[in-house]
Structure 1
């Protein structure tokens, strides 16, 4: 091929064999036979977040990608996307017409990595524990429709739901529903540090320096029993300070593959690499979104007209083209364009950027201009282009003459707790879906116990529209309710969507399985990776 870029279709499960490769040394640096994967995700234990890898606490794509390798769930998202399929369970399903009673039967012979048998009681313990701890990360809210968990014998688990929830199978495929050993995880207390003991495809050996996980070594779990085919005996995840250092490690052969987060310049360079290069770039569908969040109780943005004026001024197309190029697309809703139920609600309301329209909004609300604001962003979580993105947002808003904006960047370990506590009036965040359904782009931001700690409440959304949408097992039938939610969000602007991105993997070309190492929800699937031969 002329370019070393492999572009995958939206449903990658339709591909024939995994894209295998041609070349490379096969050593992956000092990892021996381990396949070594680089990431810029940082994993820190702090006073505010002492238990980053506890399934009852973890709620970001980086920590979930550690747990996906090690903690088994009843269901799992299939290789080629679609409805969740049994994993620790032998079978699962609703047993009533109202989608309020869900039953799973465990596989026979399930064991934790240490050899202890897994029973239905362990599943109940794990779910009840996450709900009881109610961690301030907000991850427990994924299980909020559960009323009670019942067991029958050692293998049957029955979930009684408070209300119909057609998305419940997806929620059981997320790490918060992971099965943990009661001997290792206290019922009412988070497990501090970086130890993980469960029943997933790998066990974890964590290398920690200064309360930060710098290398995670995953070793194939001999007691694993599930649906996954594990194509390697060992894999490593190494954390780098930035994309530049990670890229150097790939060039030097110290790592075999890099995932998030590569810089736009790196992606462009790899995409244009000449034939014969020993590095391949794989482009695949992505469901990541970026948005501005608002503390709607804060005096600076409490008035809806201020938030609406920002929505009217910001030029998403210019933002994307100048910072991310063809690696992202403007987004006019919280729900990405490829998800059933998407509506261009913000474009429908605001149309093209207009300073004149924004000025009218502020004048009618008697808002004195320029409105002084600080936009907060994280410097080390979403990639090196985030700073450039916020500099451009600042420029767009200030050039309107309606705003006097400053920007402030903060490390994720400080940024995230501060955002959750409501210390920022306006802040930039990203969202990688827990599962690929419109509900997961709406409820986590708008429902009770939402993930960003937003004080915004809309009773119609919470009391009627979200429950209505969840009653529809056929998600096309839920579009009316989902569209109404998006229309309300565009008017009230508790959050302001900016763009949705593609995702990329760069690998040395003796690595196989790169077509499947990430799914559309950015779930890292290390078990897919193997070694090929130079061709």
Structure 2
């Protein structure tokens, strides 16, 4: 099949004010459903029976289901930038210290079933997520909330424990989604794959053996918000592999192919010069990293983690596994985010076995150090295994490590890492919102989602709160850089690379340039049929 490539221009950020000025839900284009493919898997298990409850869900796949169906007070705009009101008519800080945040709901807001939405429903939803305190750790996004107050049916006031300039972004995440008390119990997660909200779509799920294989999104007639919904129905299908998804696109069974495509697919699509499929490359803020259980005897000594940081060759890893789809990363914060610092490169420079050996010798560590690197086989794409095979090769070739690697399916992998089973494991991070705080606090603060035992008092009690007091994120750079430098020295996490993101679509599907935003949010409402 012949293909052509489109690249989203960097000036997309300039379009942010256009969306902020728009209102109303708009009208769909009609016609048959747009069929979208993904390799994200949606499984209900004994350890995670409620994958789509906003109070539990905390990965890019489940969030992309919720962003279509559950409305939030704020939303990230089409062209990036600061969040804008969505279920709210207006929101803003009402004090100079960024500790009191007030929102006014849109008039006539309704759930998809026709029930009116009031300020009490917003309070119920936020209080519920905080009270359930799910082991996914998603509730920590709301950790700066002290109390939620309502005034009448349309006024909601958030009183914060400490200043938090990032709070508007947090209100744009699914954990802050508005749910109907009739559908979601106060102190219990909602098991299964039913989702009810006031977002642009309703959801009908096909489930087989406790796994959602197909999600049909139908335009919600009661939706009232900022989004223009350009289609009547989207059918999202989950595939076991990128190859299976690609075959479906080639056969004409798919209109759009989203994450995660393999590096080989991306290369092939990029090099094709004509045809009826377009590849759209978009800025991405995805990162990959190794996490350490710093209580585990194998990696408890800092010198072991530092030696790994000194040996890993990111450039080789990217070039041999991901090609042009990724770039080496030397901090938890991606290079395009305000506050980024190349802290790991500043400390370790180029890979050096000699320097790594000196670190281990100085700490009286016997070599080779035996370790197991764990990874998930079915969540981040088929290249993950190849990535870990190369990491294993790099570390073992030094003579300082004896590394084995072990893969596990996502529904097994996540409960194991949360229980502290692994000493070293690989993960990816798609930001909740595009701010440096969201690459630091979720990993390093109290109640971090990885359940890391690593705790640095200076980061938690001084630097994170200090950075959140700055509404001007450039002004927070000093605190943010200091956090990144501490992480580079202690190495509780080892950043590896930063990725781009892609969508492949038939050329009669429009809106693909906005099908994903930089935070990997799937924006199905942007898609329609027409002439590209």
- The TM-score normalised by the length of structure 2 is 0.96
Question: What residue number does 1:256 align with?
Answer: 255
Tell me how far 1:10 sits from its aligned partner.
Answer: 3.1
Which residue number corresponds to residue 394 of structure 2?
A: 396
Aligned to 1:5: 5
1:487-520 CA distances to partner (integer Å, 9 max, x unpaired)?
A: 0000000000000000000001100000000000
CA contact (8 A) 1:131 1:140 kept: yes
Q: Per-residue CA shift, 1:451-500, capped at 9, x if unaligned?
A: 11100000000000000000000000000000000000000000000000
Structure-2 residue corresponding to 1:481: 479
Encode CA deviations 1:97-126: one digit per residue, 9 max, x unaligned: 000000000000000000000000000000
Q: Is the 8 A contact 1:9 1:285 kept in 2?
A: no
Distance (whole Å) between structure 1 residues aligned to residue 15 and residue 223 of structure 2: 27
Can you give the 5+ residue segments of structure 2 that lack an aligned partner in the other structure?
20-29
Q: CA RMSD in A?
A: 1.4
CA contact (8 A) 2:371 2:403 kept: yes
Report what 1:265 is aligned to: 264
- SS in structure 1 of the partner of residue 246 of structure 2: helix
Q: Secondary structure at the match of 2:373?
A: strand
Q: Residues 292 and 429 of structure 1 are in contact (CA less than 8 Å); yes or no, is this contact kept in structure 2?
A: yes
Deviation of 1:272 after TM superposition, in Å, equals: 1.1
- Displacement over 6 Å in runs of 4+: 15-18
- The question of whether the paired residues in 1 share the 8 Å contact of 2:3 and 2:277 is answered with no
The 3-state SS of whatever aligns with 1:324 is helix
For 2:286 and 2:11, how far apart are their aligned partners in 1?
16
Q: Give the 3-state SS of the residue equivalent to 1:4 in structure 2.
A: strand
Partner Cα separation in structure 2 for residue 423 and residue 189 of structure 1: 27
Separation (CA, whole Å) in 2 of partners of 1:279 and 1:248: 13
Q: Per the alignment, in what secondary structure is the counterpart of residue 518 of structure 1?
A: coil
C-alpha separation between the residues in 2 aligned to 1:214 and 1:3? 28
Q: Which runs of 5 or more structure 1 residues have no equivalent in the other structure?
A: 19-30
In the other structure, the counterpart of 2:510 is 512
Equivalent position to 1:406, from 401, 404, 407: 404
Equivalent residue of 2:294, what SS?
Answer: coil
Specify which of 460, 484, 495 is matched with residue 497 of structure 1: 495
* 1:524 aligned counterpart, secondary structure: coil
Q: Which position in structure 1 is the counterpart of 2:101?
A: 102
1:467 matched to 2:465? The reply is: yes
After superposition, give the CA deviation of every residue in 1:344-388 in whole Å (9 maximum; x if it has no partner).
000000000000000000000000000000000000000000000
| Alpha-carbon distance, 1:9 to partner | 2.5
Mapped to 2, the partners of 1:347 and 1:399 lie a distance apart of: 21
For residues 337-352 of structure 1, what are the structure 2 equivalents within 5 Å? Answer: 337-352=335-350
Q: Classify the secondary structure of the residue corresponding to 1:498.
A: strand
Contact 1:12–1:515 (Cα < 8 Å) also in 2: no
Give the paired residue count: 520
* SS class of match (2:485): helix
Trace 1:55-454 onto structure 2 (pairs within 5 A). 55-275=54-274, 277-454=275-452
SS in structure 1 at match of 2:290: strand
Match of 1:33 in 2: 32
Q: Distance in 2 between matches of 1:327 and 1:352?
A: 22
Counterpart Cα distance in 2 of 1:11 and 1:73: 27
What are the superposed Cα offsets for residues 196-217 of structure 1, whole Å, 9 maximum, x if unpaired? 0110000000000000000000
**Which TM-score applies when normalising by structure 1?**
0.96
Q: Is the 8 A contact 1:282 1:504 kept in 2?
A: yes
